[in-house]
Amino acid sequence: MKAVVLPRYGGADDLEVAEVPRPQCAAGEVLVELRATSVNPVDWKVGAGLLDAAIPGEFPLIPGWDAAGVIAEVGSGVADFAVGDEVFGYVRRPVAKWGTYAEYTIAEPGMIAKKPANLDWGSAAGLPLVGMTALQCLDAVRVKDGDTVLIHAAAGGVGTMAVQIAKARGARVIGTASARNHDYLVAFGAEPVEYGPGLLERVRLLVPDGPDAAMDAAGGDAIELSIEAGTDPSRVVSIIDPAIREQGGEYVFVGADSEDLRQLAALTESRELVVPISETYPLEQAAVAWRASQSGRTRGKIVLRIS
């Protein structure tokens, strides 16, 4: 099968398009013929060895965790899926080796769900990692109807999902972003505030009593600012800094969950959640897609079209 591989830890210049053996479907697994995947910053961080302590790589390494495609084979013991089912999911294993920048990938049933009929392949591939990260963050700090939630880096991939999911729950959303992204956030129902000096005062003007919950997808002083603005530390969640636990808050490193995927699917079907796509590249241009992701200037998901 055709795949994009890294022969060793490296960057975009080290990616190679190669023919590799198709993975074999074992009991309790399904083989997915992929139509699309998406590029996430974690892909090139894993590829560079920056996360080696948590997610070691084996080479040649096929990057990628997001998946959208058609089930081509079903292993024994799998009851919920059949050959021909259109699925999407988050295919992450303890060791990075058989990723989703390929024509086929192996998945366990708990990693995938039926693809919503209203999503094209690119949107379905762009949803799992960012959507589940946002959902698990909002669940961790119990965001509900009537809450005011402060989302740092609200125009980013995870932030855009969190804004929409929080709004679907009936929450008021304050989103930090650069000025050029304010109209973008308003379109999703958020109230934007600009990064930089004076951010705390701007948040206090909007929420004098403090946000009920806060989500850090930005790093820097986002956690401290959220608490200083009046958010109970137990309702502050970060995807950046595990040290938030020392302050009584929550840290989320997204995990595969088929029920979460089904929740995301339902939100897309009710038109409460959309997946903005920034760029779509053929699989062979994965290196170009990595450079676009590393630039930090994209707004929306970067998709790799496979077939």
Burial class of residue 33 (count of CB atoms within 10 Å of its CB; 0-12, 13-18, 19+): middle
Q: How confident is the model at residue 215 (pLDDT cuts 50, 70, 90)?
A: very high
8 Å CB contact between 259 and 238? no
**Whole-number Å distance between alpha carbons of 7 and 47:** 10
pLDDT confidence of residue 299: 82
Local structure of residue 1 (DSSP, 8 states): -
Q: Quick check: 296 pLDDT over 90? A: no
The model's pLDDT over 25-34, given as tens digits with 9 standing for 90+, comes to 999 999 999 9
The model's pLDDT over 141-180, given as tens digits with 9 standing for 90+, comes to 999 999 999 999 999 999 999 999 999 999 999 999 999 9
Pairing mode of beta strands 112-114, 86-90: antiparallel
The model's pLDDT over 238-278, given as tens digits with 9 standing for 90+, comes to 999 999 999 999 999 999 999 999 999 999 999 999 999 99
pLDDT-above-90 percentage for the chain: 98
Helix, strand, coil shares of the chain as percentages rounded to 5? Answer: 35, 30, 40
The predicted model gives 90-101 an average pLDDT of 96
Q: Quick check: 281 pLDDT over 80? A: yes
The model's pLDDT over 15-67, given as tens digits with 9 standing for 90+, comes to 999 999 999 999 999 999 999 999 999 999 999 999 999 999 999 999 999 99
Q: How confident is the model at residue 297 (pLDDT cuts 50, 70, 90)?
A: confident
- Give the global pTM: 0.97
8 Å CB contact between 230 and 211? yes
pLDDT confidence of residue 9: 97
> Mind listing the domains of the chain with CATH numbers?
2-127+275-305 (3.90.180.10), 130-251 (3.40.50.720)
pLDDT confidence of residue 94: 94
- 3-state SS, residue 7: coil
Task: Give how far Cα 99 sits from Cα of 21, 44, 103, 292, Å.
Answer: 13, 12, 10, 20
